Amino acid sequence: MKNPLILVLCTGNSCRSHLAEGILKAALGSGYRVASAGSKPAGYVHPLAIRAMQEIGIDISAHNSKHLDEFLSQNVETVITVCGNADQVCPMFPGQVNRYHFPFDDPAHAQGSEEEQFTVFRRVRDEIRAVFGAYAAGRKDQAGIK
């Protein structure tokens, strides 16, 4: 499949899935399409998610929150869920070959001051970067991409 579509799903599509989408796009480069969506989209991308990604040089400020139904008619090669709820409600997509579940804490539920909350966003971002970086390296290795 030329430029396979990898879809990252969570419930609200405001934090985790956007962190993963940005990291995966940066790690894979061209040759893949990466998108994110949610089962109950929040309607926005969390400002602390945008800030956390800016720290590592990835701009997700133009991302928008989408419903997974927008992808039901697309040829989705791989679906990756990043929260339990999305994993449970995830439909099958046309052309879907792979499905993975990598759960992460939801930083949008972090308590405390803005800086305390931001610490949680950083932690989750770094966890997602480790997992999705390894996933991207495996995909590139499998495809023979250096």
Helix ranges (DSSP H) in the chain: 16-28, 47-55, 84-89, 114-143
Query: Which residues touch 112 (CB under 8 Å, ≥6 apart)?
Result: none
- Whose tokens are 């480069």? That residue is 29
Looking at 83, 120, 131, 136, which residue is catalytic? 83
Q: Catalytic residue among 9, 10, 80, 128, which?
A: 10
The distance from CA 11 to its chain's CA centroid, rounded to whole angstroms, is 11
Distance CA 20, CA 51 (A): 14
What the block records as the tokens of 86 is 């999305």
Spot the catalytic one: 20, 90, 120, 136. 90
Copy the structure tokens of residue 85: 């709820």
Structure tokens at 83: 């929260």
Quote the crossing angle between the two packed helices 16-28 and 47-55, to the nearest 10°: 30
Told to judge if 15 belongs to the known catalytic residues of this protein, a careful annotator would answer no
Active site residues: 10, 83, 90
